[in-house]
Amino acid sequence: MQYQSFLIKYAEIGTKGKNRYMFEDALIKQIRYALKSVEGQFDVTKESGRIYVKAETDYDYDDAVEALKRVFGIADICPMVQIEDKDYENLKQHVVEYMDQVYPDKNITFKVNARRGDKQYPVTSEQINRDMGEVILEAFPQMRVDVHHPDVILHVEVRQRINLFSLMIPGPGGMPVGTNGRAMLLLSGGIDSPVAGYMIAKRGVKIDAVYFHAPPYTSERAKQKVVDLANLVARYAGPINLHVVNFTDIQLYIYDKCPHEELTIIMRRYMMRIAQTIAERTGSIGLITGESIGQVASQTLQSLAATNEVCTMPVFRPVIGFDKQEIVDVSEKIGTYETSIQPYEDCCTIFVAKHPVTKPNINVIHSSERRLEEKIDQLVENALETTEQILCQG
C-alpha cells in the first residue's frame, strides 16, 4: 500500500482562539522543514482545522514517517487514502480495496467509524457505518465486527473529499517550535544537556546553544562532538545557532587566582554570566542547563544556588529531578546517547579539583571572585568578541 497522504492530528492544548492559528501555522512550518530532508515533494496544507501532508511525487514512506515523528506538536500521524470522487458506490469499492491492502491477514475484528463533516452528503454517518461494514464482511468473510474492542477502527471522514484511515502512528506530542519564545541552551558534550534542550524545545521553545571550549585542554574532536550533538537535537528543534566561546584564558585566570576547590563553581558562574550576555544579545529570554540535583559536586542544592545567583534570566533545568538512568533513557530515545558517550574530555573534567566544595558559602565565593577584578572583565569581553557561530541544521 502506497499512501499518498497523511492526516496530522495535533493536541488541542493551546489551540484556542488566536493561538490556534499561530499554533497551526508554526506546526505547518515545522512539518515542511522536517520533510525537506525526505526524498520526494510534499504539499502541506490546512483545511477546515485539519493539517494534511500530501505527497506530490514518489517518496520514501519510512523516512517521511520518521521525519514527522520528530515534529513537536503532532499527536498522531495517520497515513490515509483520500478519495476525490464522493460517489457512494465508488466509496464502497475504495473501502474494500483499503481493507484488502492494509490488512493482508484477514483474521481481524473491525468497526467502521464514519463522520459526516459535509452535511450535504446524502448518507448519514450511521448508514455509512452499516453499509461499509456490510461490504467489508461480504468481501472478506473472515473479518468480524466488534464494536467494543475492535483490532481495527476504519475512519471514514466525509469532508470536501473522503478520508479513509485506520493507522495512527504516535507523534512526539508537545508544541510546535516557535510558539513559546526562545532560550539559550548550555550545551556540553555530555548526556544531560542535549536531553534538556530536547525537552524545552518540545514545549515549543526555539533554542540556540552555547558551548564553552578550552583549547588546547579540550580538543577539536570534543568541539566536533558538541556540533554533532547540536545537529542531532536540531532534527527535532529546528536549526540551532551554536555559539562557541573560547573559555581558555578565563579558566586559566581563575585557576591561577582562586582556591582550587572552588574552581568549578566559579567557572560555572562565569559560564552562566557569558551565556546570559549572549542570550540577551540574540533574543533569548531564558537559559537551559542539564543539571540534576546531586549528580556531581557542582549540582548540590548549595552549588546550584551559588551558580544561579549570577543569573537574572530564568534558568530552566528540565532534568533537575531525573535520575541518571531516566536521562539516559531519553537520550537513547532521541538518538543522542551514542554521541554523548564518546570519550572526549570536556573543559570541566580537566580543571576539576580532587575535593571540590559541595556546600559553597556564597560570601566566600564572592571574596574569591574579587581576586579576579583586575583582568576578568577584559577576558570576558575578549571571549564574547571571539565567539564563533555555527549553524547546526540537523
Residues making up the binding site for ATP: 186-187, 211-212, 268, 290, 299
Cell for 218?
A: 579540550
- The 3-state DSSP class for residue 120 equals coil
Task: Find the binder of ligand ATP among 30, 251, 298, 368 (CB under 6 A).
Answer: 298
Least Å from the CB of residue 223 to ligand ATP: 10
Task: Find the binder of Mg ion among 176, 190, 194, 394 (CB under 5 A).
Answer: 190
Choose one: 28-36, 90-98, 112-120, 296-304; the region binding ligand ATP (CB under 6 A): 296-304
Closer Cβ to ligand ATP, 28 or 348, answer by number: 348
Cell for 105?
A: 491477514
Alpha helices in 262-375, H assignment, sequence order: 263-281, 301-308, 324-334, 337-340, 347-350, 362-370
Closer Cβ to ligand ATP, 24 or 192, answer by number: 192
71 with 176: CB under 8 angstroms? yes
- 61-68 vs 17-35: helix crossing angle, rounded to 10: 140
Q: How many residues bind ligand ATP (CB under 6 A)?
A: 21
297 with 358: CB under 8 angstroms? yes
Task: Find the binder of Mg ion among 188, 276, 292, 299 (CB under 5 A).
Answer: 188
Main-chain dihedrals φ then ψ at residue 74, nearest 5 degrees: -85, 125
Choose one: 54-62, 104-112, 187-195, 197-205; the region binding Mg ion (CB under 5 A): 187-195
Choose one: 22-30, 36-44, 51-59, 209-217; the region binding ligand ATP (CB under 6 A): 209-217
Choose one: 91-99, 137-145, 283-291, 374-382; the region binding ligand ATP (CB under 6 A): 283-291
Q: Choose the contact partner of 81 out of Mg ion, ligand ATP, none; CB within 5 to 8 A by kind.
A: none
224 with 184: CB under 8 angstroms? no
Choose one: 34-42, 89-97, 150-158, 188-196; the region binding Mg ion (CB under 5 A): 188-196
Closer Cβ to ligand ATP, 192 or 208, answer by number: 192
Q: Choose the contact partner of 290 out of Mg ion, ligand ATP, none; CB within 5 to 8 A by kind.
A: ligand ATP
Closer Cβ to ligand ATP, 147 or 341, answer by number: 341
Q: Choose the contact partner of 339 out of Mg ion, ligand ATP, none; CB within 5 to 8 A by kind.
A: none
Cell for 135?
A: 461490504
- The rounded distance, in Å, linking the Cα atoms of 340 and 331 is 9
- The rounded distance, in Å, linking the Cα atoms of 13 and 192 is 27
Assess whether the previous peptide bond of 216 is cis (omega < 30° from 0). Answer: yes
Binding-site residues from annotation: 186-187, 211-212, 268, 290, 299
> How crowded is the C-beta side of 128, counted as CA atoms within 13 Å?
24
Site for Mg ion in 339-368 (CB under 5 A): 346
Closer Cβ to ligand ATP, 240 or 271, answer by number: 271
Choose one: 80-88, 92-100, 206-214, 254-262; the region binding ligand ATP (CB under 6 A): 206-214
Site for ligand ATP contains 187 (CB under 6 A)? yes
- The rounded distance, in Å, linking the Cα atoms of 2 and 239 is 31
Cell for 168?
A: 495512527
State the DSSP H helix or E strand holding residue 11, giving kind and residue range, or none if neither: none
Site for ligand ATP contains 186 (CB under 6 A)? yes
Task: Find the binder of ligand ATP among 188, 241, 276, 387 (CB under 6 A).
Answer: 188
**Residues 322, 278, 210, CA angle at the centre, nearest 5°?**
45
Q: Choose the contact partner of 176 out of Mg ion, ligand ATP, none; CB within 5 to 8 A by kind.
A: none
Per-residue CA distances from 99 to 85, 88, 112, 199, 216 (Å): 19, 17, 11, 38, 63
Q: Choose the contact partner of 304 out of Mg ion, ligand ATP, none; CB within 5 to 8 A by kind.
A: none
Per-residue CA distances from 219 to 164, 215, 244, 380 (Å): 55, 6, 13, 21
- The rounded distance, in Å, linking the Cα atoms of 350 and 19 is 47
Site for ligand ATP contains 322 (CB under 6 A)? no
Cell for 209?
A: 546553544
Residues at the interface with ligand ATP (CB under 6 A): 186-188, 190-193, 210-212, 271, 289-291, 295-296, 298-299, 346-348
